[in-house]
Chains A and B, each alone.
Chain A
């Protein structure tokens, strides 16, 4: 096989189950295909002289080769199925396979988005059920389902707010965003043309409410707040904060990325929230899939609901239907995504909610919060918690415990890889020096948590004992050692080329 020619006379580079795998483009044998279609010569075409002139340049492989290629690649990945995945703020919980199966049912996966409403009553009913669950859990009456992910939900929620403000003739210029917020928050506000006003935290890691009140005026469109915050702390002054924002005519937008800490125990609607997105791929366990697809429905107050995007779901005497254009929903801010949203994710999320039920969802938040506090309690003398007291669903450490060891947060996280774990979130939130954000989720057994805790304690002890090299050299047992990110950015090679030398000279 031509592609492996470069390996002749050399070792394979393989290490037992860890198999080296060339790029698919390096395994080409022209004429081969993994899909059988009869050759077809058309006597005439209607392509208007625009028929493709040059080959695409795709490699030819048979099905077994393609299956092996992607199987080998999969083995270089760490997933929740592999082990504990304490990536703070990302909520890596178990992905039930029932949900995968149901999303693939005939009558759901094979629906075209523009079929007549009379032929899709079941899936529209599913939209309605999902909305009902989300509405009940958030305490907010209206849902906009279409956003494609959390950041898209932020756009949706903030566009709704902006449109509502414009509708009352009150264009405003500023959005308040705590410094601990996800980067998507300021990016969203900026995308809408708002000036971003960054709010500092107080010594307790919460939004400084005095500072917030000092900055509130009639030019503030909204506060974008995350609760629990990215520090894993509940914003205990949230009701007072929301009242203050409302008093100057602004809105409260909740980044719902951490809703998994509250489900069944707290309804954001009771906290004074006007709009929030819900990451179905976090709280309701639709798989992250190596970076999506996500799904970010937005819950809204009744006041904001008329401004929600198209499509809007309506249930009337004829059944369910989607309003896709004005004038029926004349105040809608318009369309944010093609078709109707991430239906495949809605199915999975609804299956997740039905499986847990109201009782199980409450248990989920409790177990998630319990697990994080357990990790915090049992590591606090060994690592350095960023703040005093307990936490919600994730616990945050700073790098004080590594001071003088020559080991950085980065090194520490890489050492966890050698111990068989995906690292926690590091260097985020930005408000804490050398942050390590640990979110164990409700999916771990006590034995699993205990082993993880022991690993953290042992690694911290080794760092303090001067075993610097262990950290600097980590990871040593992963499919790759540390990768040269500077080189990747300075000399971007973003695609394969037939002649790599020629590409390098570009």
Chain B
């Protein structure tokens, strides 16, 4: 077996040194009734060639988005990942290292986390950010629990612009954590009056921008309403590239930002692993969950980095911790940091502009189709159209001809039949003229 260095001769010698006759003696503590004496019904070991063939066959049964016109978004986006990102994250010292508990030999990971935290804080317009969460939805769930700790209030109001997966994760965590959640109806046009739902029990209002239907909203008036009532505003960003073009939540008064960082450096990979972003005001940092990296000096006075403020965390505080999170998304955060370092200020601004331009083009072309109605007034790289029939059926028909037309709202809102005609469509820097053409023609065909 290619991954196992011990030979039978080694094993025999080692058993001798231990002073046992066989390996079975080392498992003597296992109750006899639970010892497996027969091989399990699983195939035997396989070569690289065989394993690559088996997984390759599974891959070929899917319609990948690389060579397919694809307009899916709703929280996962097809973006270009510069070649050097994937090269660098596969350096063994990054890939095969552990959580940096031994800072003297983990300065690589630690400096990356410090840079990542800075990048996330800059992008979101917040003062501090942590070293990552599992994904955007869990970051959002943790943000709500954090708001409860900060305000010592028990109610969260979730906007109808919030991605349903995020809403559901908040609802799950809150139910077990005994937070009351008020989830507003799907808000297609960004017209809900969420400020009216705030009262003296409200810990936070959670609002997504761009919203799940793509629309944009000025958070400032809502932040004001929150603050006037002693509540926090949690802003959610599922498309982090939008922050290259849009006012950051921090500039509009958000107190906590929860986001999904997949768009930078990470493939969609069917939804995971990705990287959750969590940023907040400095004054709330001790209520923040997750790892934090901080700057310090070593014995010789040289700058260095360590994990810090661990008294918030489970391995120190156990049942009194801010969260049970341990492992987070280190390598995905590294990919994010490398991609954003490559882009830089100008690259990010241009990337965002290309995304918006592609969406404008797609919007114009789709709006010109008979039977297609644009729902949004505003958007970044994703918007919603209304079709004459159930969007899911059209999506299925177009998938049959190799076009991934978008996300039917019914996939996210099966219990809202009124939303069935809605289709969420996204465009990015990878969306070509030819892909737009293919979608427009395909849609015209199925609408005919």
- CB contacts (< 8 Å) of A28 on chain B: these are 344
* 11 further contact pairs, Cβ within 8 A, besides A123-B270, A351-B55: A34-B82, A45-B360, A48-B217, A77-B94, A106-B67, A114-B72, A193-B178, A287-B331, A293-B330, A357-B45, A422-B102
Q: Mark interface residues in B119-135 (1 if CB within 8 Å of A CB, else 0).
A: 10111000111011011
- CB contacts (< 8 Å) of B368 on chain A: these are none
Residue A111 lies at the interface, judged by CB distance under 8 Å to chain B: yes
- How far is B106's CA from A139's CA once the two chains are assembled, in angstroms? 38
Contact among A238, A281, A338 for B137, CB-based, below 8 A: A338
Q: Mark interface residues in A182-210 (1 if CB within 8 Å of B CB, else 0).
A: 11101111111100100000000000000
- How far is B197's CA from A75's CA once the two chains are assembled, in angstroms? 52
Pair B354/A40 contact, Cβ less than 8 Å = yes
Pair B102/A417 contact, Cβ less than 8 Å = yes
- How far is B347's CA from A30's CA once the two chains are assembled, in angstroms? 11
Pair A149/B318 contact, Cβ less than 8 Å = no
Pair A95/B244 contact, Cβ less than 8 Å = no
- CB contacts (< 8 Å) of A351 on chain B: these are 51, 55
Nearest CB to that of B49 among chain A residues? A98
- CB contacts (< 8 Å) of A444 on chain B: these are 5
Pair B324/A188 contact, Cβ less than 8 Å = yes
Shortest CB-to-CB span from A405 to chain B, Å, is: 21
Shortest CB-to-CB span from A179 to chain B, Å, is: 10
Q: Mark interface residues in A330-357 (1 if CB within 8 Å of B CB, else 0).
A: 0001111111111111010011011111
Contact among A77, A162, A492 for B108, CB-based, below 8 A: A77
Interface on chain A toward B: helix, strand, loop, or mixed SS?
Answer: loop
Q: Which listed segment binds B: A55-63, A245-253, A454-462, A463-471?
A: A55-63
- CB contacts (< 8 Å) of B329 on chain A: these are 148, 291-293
Residue A406 lies at the interface, judged by CB distance under 8 Å to chain B: no
Shortest CB-to-CB span from A174 to chain B, Å, is: 12
- CB contacts (< 8 Å) of B375 on chain A: these are none
- CB contacts (< 8 Å) of B19 on chain A: these are 377
Pair A289/B246 contact, Cβ less than 8 Å = no
- CB contacts (< 8 Å) of B330 on chain A: these are 288-293
Interface centre among B84, B317, B332 (most CB of A within 10 A): B84
Residue B306 lies at the interface, judged by CB distance under 8 Å to chain A: yes
- CB contacts (< 8 Å) of A92 on chain B: these are 96, 98
Q: Mark interface residues in B60-99 (1 if CB within 8 Å of A CB, else 0).
A: 1111111100101011101000101011111111111111
Contact of A480 with B327 at beta-carbon distance under 8 Å, contacts A34-B341, A339-B271 already known: no
Q: Mark interface residues in A27-69 (1 if CB within 8 Å of B CB, else 0).
A: 0101111110111101011111111111111111101001101
- How far is B298's CA from A428's CA once the two chains are assembled, in angstroms? 24
For chain A residues 359-393, which have a beta carbon within 8 Å of chain B? 359-364, 366-367, 369-371, 373-374, 376-378, 390, 392
The 8 closest A-B pairs by CB, nearest first: A339-B271, A289-B331, A122-B61, A81-B92, A113-B271, A358-B42, A291-B330, A338-B137
For chain A residues 284-329, which have a beta carbon within 8 Å of chain B? 287-295, 309-310, 324-325
Residue A506 lies at the interface, judged by CB distance under 8 Å to chain B: yes
- CB contacts (< 8 Å) of B417 on chain A: these are none
- How far is B35's CA from A236's CA once the two chains are assembled, in angstroms? 12
Contact of A56 with B122 at beta-carbon distance under 8 Å, contacts A265-B35, A288-B96, A360-B45 already known: yes
Pair A354/B54 contact, Cβ less than 8 Å = yes
Pair A357/B26 contact, Cβ less than 8 Å = no
Contact among A38, A111, A370, A417 for B65, CB-based, below 8 A: A111
- CB contacts (< 8 Å) of A442 on chain B: these are 3-4, 6
What are 19 A-B contacts defined by CB distance under 8 Å?
Answer: A33-B343, A34-B344, A40-B357, A47-B216, A50-B218, A56-B348, A104-B267, A107-B64, A108-B55, A109-B268, A115-B72, A119-B404, A123-B59, A190-B320, A339-B135, A345-B272, A355-B46, A357-B45, A496-B115
- How far is B77's CA from A500's CA once the two chains are assembled, in angstroms? 36
- CB contacts (< 8 Å) of A434 on chain B: these are none
Shortest CB-to-CB span from A334 to chain B, Å, is: 4
- CB contacts (< 8 Å) of A480 on chain B: these are 103-104, 107, 298, 302, 304
Contact of A112 with B296 at beta-carbon distance under 8 Å, contacts A33-B344, A58-B122, A67-B84 already known: no
Contact among A13, A24, A150, A481 for B326, CB-based, below 8 A: A150
Contact among B58, B66, B123 for A110, CB-based, below 8 A: B66
Pair A37/B354 contact, Cβ less than 8 Å = yes
Residue B196 lies at the interface, judged by CB distance under 8 Å to chain A: no
Chain B contributes a number of interface residues (CB within 8 A of A) equal to 215
- How far is B123's CA from A289's CA once the two chains are assembled, in angstroms? 24
- CB contacts (< 8 Å) of B414 on chain A: these are 324-325
Nearest CB to that of B167 among chain A residues? A335
Residue A12 lies at the interface, judged by CB distance under 8 Å to chain B: no
Pair B52/A483 contact, Cβ less than 8 Å = no
Contact of A51 with B273 at beta-carbon distance under 8 Å, contacts A61-B341, A357-B42 already known: no
Residue B163 lies at the interface, judged by CB distance under 8 Å to chain A: yes
Pair B345/A370 contact, Cβ less than 8 Å = no
Chain A contributes a number of interface residues (CB within 8 A of B) equal to 204
Residue B447 lies at the interface, judged by CB distance under 8 Å to chain A: no
- How far is B165's CA from A61's CA once the two chains are assembled, in angstroms? 36
Residue B222 lies at the interface, judged by CB distance under 8 Å to chain A: no
- How far is B379's CA from A101's CA once the two chains are assembled, in angstroms? 36
Shortest CB-to-CB span from A307 to chain B, Å, is: 12
Shortest CB-to-CB span from A279 to chain B, Å, is: 8
- CB contacts (< 8 Å) of A23 on chain B: these are 111, 114-115, 118
Pair A423/B102 contact, Cβ less than 8 Å = yes
Pair B95/A95 contact, Cβ less than 8 Å = yes
Residue A485 lies at the interface, judged by CB distance under 8 Å to chain B: yes
Pair A290/B18 contact, Cβ less than 8 Å = no
Pair A191/B323 contact, Cβ less than 8 Å = yes
Nearest CB to that of A267 among chain B residues? B36
For chain A residues 8-24, which have a beta carbon within 8 Å of chain B? 13, 21, 23-24
Pair A54/B251 contact, Cβ less than 8 Å = yes
Pair B404/A115 contact, Cβ less than 8 Å = yes
Shortest CB-to-CB span from A43 to chain B, Å, is: 10
- How far is B379's CA from A46's CA once the two chains are assembled, in angstroms? 6
- CB contacts (< 8 Å) of B360 on chain A: these are 42, 44-46
Pair A233/B62 contact, Cβ less than 8 Å = no
Contact among B44, B102, B138, B297 for A338, CB-based, below 8 A: B138
- CB contacts (< 8 Å) of B17 on chain A: these are 374, 377-378
- How far is B272's CA from A445's CA once the two chains are assembled, in angstroms? 34
- CB contacts (< 8 Å) of A445 on chain B: these are 5-6, 10
Nearest CB to that of B51 among chain A residues? A354
- CB contacts (< 8 Å) of A31 on chain B: these are 346
- How far is B131's CA from A171's CA once the two chains are assembled, in angstroms? 36
Pair B165/A294 contact, Cβ less than 8 Å = no
- CB contacts (< 8 Å) of B99 on chain A: these are 288, 290-292
Contact among B28, B100, B108, B169 for A335, CB-based, below 8 A: B169
Contact among B42, B129, B244 for A133, CB-based, below 8 A: B42
- CB contacts (< 8 Å) of A188 on chain B: these are 324
Residue B152 lies at the interface, judged by CB distance under 8 Å to chain A: no
For chain B residues 36-54, which have a beta carbon within 8 Å of chain A? 36, 39-46, 48, 50-52, 54
- CB contacts (< 8 Å) of A390 on chain B: these are 18, 20, 26, 28
Shortest CB-to-CB span from B17 to chain A, Å, is: 6
Contact among B40, B58, B243 for A264, CB-based, below 8 A: B40
Contact among A239, A289, A339 for B165, CB-based, below 8 A: A339
- How far is B348's CA from A59's CA once the two chains are assembled, in angstroms? 11
Residue A488 lies at the interface, judged by CB distance under 8 Å to chain B: yes
Contact among B40, B101, B285, B321 for A136, CB-based, below 8 A: B40
For chain A residues 253-281, which have a beta carbon within 8 Å of chain B? 264-267, 270-271, 281
- How far is B84's CA from A33's CA once the two chains are assembled, in angstroms? 13
- How far is B51's CA from A96's CA once the two chains are assembled, in angstroms? 12
Pair A374/B14 contact, Cβ less than 8 Å = yes
- How far is B4's CA from A270's CA once the two chains are assembled, in angstroms? 28
Residue B399 lies at the interface, judged by CB distance under 8 Å to chain A: yes
Pair A24/B97 contact, Cβ less than 8 Å = no
- CB contacts (< 8 Å) of A141 on chain B: these are none
